[in-house]
Amino acid sequence: MAEVRPFGVKFSEGIAYLKGKLPEVSVAWDDLAGPVHAKVFTVAGSTSTAMVSELHKAVVSAIDNGTTITDFRKQFDKTVAASGWSYNGSRGWRTQIIFDANMRSAHMAGRWSQLWAGKARRPFLQYRTAGDSKVRPAHRQWNGIIRAITDVFWTVFYPPNGWFCRCTVRAYSQAEVDTKGLNVETTPFEVKTRTVTKAGEPTDVVPVGVDPGWDHNVGVSWIAPEVALGRKLASLPATLRDKFIEKTISPAFQTALSERWKAFRSAFKTAEAPAAAAQIVGFIDGPSLTGLQSQLPETQLVSTAVAVTGAEVGALTWPAELLDNLPIHLRNYQAVLWDIEAKALVVVPGDIGKAFKRGRLGTISLKPATTGPARGALEVKNLGDSSAADLADPGRFNLLVGTLDRTFNAQVSDDLLFPA
């Protein structure tokens, strides 16, 4: 008898999804925010990047070559034996959860890419369960729902919606909808939520019926991870946003943001991007947000995102090698200041001192955007540098977070990348 392959024929988009992930160790799967998992391959309780990398290769091989979980388990055993890893749970459960989560996510992320590319021909999606007794009650209630692919419903409820979720979608054209007499729902979908707790402390808020970490569209998280994460953060109460932002501290995710940012800049150079566009380059953390609100209490941000608009992208003057990694520099700051005169938040990166004249520090100036594509978020208005002495002037700047430390570049050459 032929062996059943539950994920169907391989396709290039699903393979690209898995291959594009970067391996990282983690204590628990929920150490990382749900959308971050689209760019990061991790195994809960893993002890070394080398081991995670080998398991990543095994999963990629499974989808690339059409192999089964039996083949994956053989590679799992070899990798575990070589690393000496002592994992929790049984071998069967552990391998099943790694294999299933990654294969189903890859399949549905790749499927979303195909659906989105063909949305002009088939603009409607129907939610479909596996149709058997194992289907969760909440998922059964969604079975048959038809909405436009652009409906906000699919930003949260596009499957999979949890561990071992077997739900999928089917696309329909307008002609098919008309011929079959199908009902396309257009009224806003009522989303009931529940608070997730860990050790008695609230950690997340998710829709009822969706497992924590799965309340995002895996396809959007793959194609535009910063957009998916921004939507997730916007859905959380302010008291949880900062904790959640900490779950985005991932080298792989920061690399993904940098690649998206470079592609955005490249599109403007070739006139492929509309001038009204904006690109998210990071998210402001809790202490910085608290500091901003202390200076501008009347300002209410809709999003904690930091964006660069098309109107500003050509005016940013850092050297290319620094500009390429703006998301990383924004995240790895040594201090956040309030510019009293300019009424702007000033982020001082802590890892680029050698790019400036001795005694000078890089600066990223941010302002709340009230109009345009970044409206409701923070907008990068200027990239530059300033002397540490000027930044320490209490008449011009208020120190909100961190410390100003210029000792790291005290011995750097005076060769200039920037005019004084």
3-class DSSP state for residue 330? helix
What string of pLDDT tens digits covers the 420 residues of the chain? 233 333 444 568 888 888 888 888 887 888 888 999 998 999 988 889 999 999 999 999 988 888 889 999 999 999 999 999 988 899 999 999 999 999 999 999 999 999 999 999 999 999 999 999 999 999 999 999 999 999 999 999 999 999 999 999 999 999 999 999 999 999 999 999 999 998 899 999 999 999 999 999 999 998 888 888 888 887 888 788 877 877 776 777 888 888 889 988 888 877 665 666 889 998 888 888 889 989 988 877 777 889 998 888 888 888 888 899 899 899 889 999 999 999 999 999 986 756 677 778 899 999 998 888 878 889 999 999 898 889 999 999 999 999 987 544 433 333 333 333
Name 267's Cβ contacts closer than 8 Å, sequence gap at least 6: 273
Cα–Cα dist 172/151, whole Å? 14
Q: Measured between alpha carbons, how far is 259 from 412 in angstroms, rounded to an integer? A: 29
Q: Residues 79, 55: contact at Cβ < 8 Å? A: yes
What is the C-alpha R_g of the chain?
Answer: 24
What's the rounded Cα separation, in Å, for the pair 349 and 321? 14
Nearest partner of 109 among 173, 55, 35, judged by Cα? 35
pLDDT of residue 67: 83
E strand or H helix at 299: none
Contact present, 69 and 96 (Cβ < 8 Å): yes
pLDDT of residue 130: 96
**Residues counted in the chain:** 420
Q: For position 92, what pLDDT does the model report?
A: 95
Q: What is the pLDDT of residue 8?
A: 46
pLDDT value at residue 15: 85
Q: Report the pLDDT value the prediction gives residue 301, as an integer from 0 to 100.
A: 75
pLDDT at 73: 95
Question: Who's near 359: CB < 8 A, 6+ residues apart?
Answer: 387, 388, 389, 406, 409, 410
What is the side-by-side strand order in the sheet with 278-283?
278-283, 305-309, 378-387, 360-368, 344-349, 333-339, 397-402
What distance in Å separates the CA atoms of residue 346 and residue 360, rounded to the nearest whole number?
14
Quote the CA–CA distance of 339 and 337 in Å, as a whole number: 6
φ, ψ of residue 379 to 5 degrees: the values are: -115, 135
Q: Write b or e for each residue in 138-156: b if 16 or more Cβ atoms lie within 10 A of its Cβ, otherwise e.
A: ebeebeebbbebebebbbb
Is residue 206 within 8 Å of 215, Cβ to Cβ? yes
Q: What are phi and psi of 140, to 5 degrees?
A: -65, -35
CA distance 313 to 275: 10
213: enclosing H helix or E strand = none
| Residue 340 contacts residue 294 (beta carbons within 8 Å) | no
247 by DSSP, 3-state: which? Answer: helix
CA distances, 291 to each of 280, 304, 319, 335, 347 (Å)? 21, 13, 29, 11, 12
Are 324 and 355 contacting, i.e. CB atoms less than 8 angstroms apart?
no
Nearest to 241 by CA among 291, 198, 205: 205
Q: Where are the domains of the chain?
A: 12-235, 250-409
Q: What is the pLDDT of residue 353?
A: 57
In one-letter notation, the amino acid at residue 48 is: S
Q: Which residue type does 288 have?
A: S
Helix/strand/coil for 315 = coil
Across-strand partners of 197? 202
Q: Is 417 helix (H, G, I), strand (E, B) or coil?
A: coil
Token output for 403: 């410390």
Residue 324: which residues within 8 A CB-CB, separation 6 or more? 258, 261, 262
Q: Residue 41's beta-bridge partner residues?
A: 23
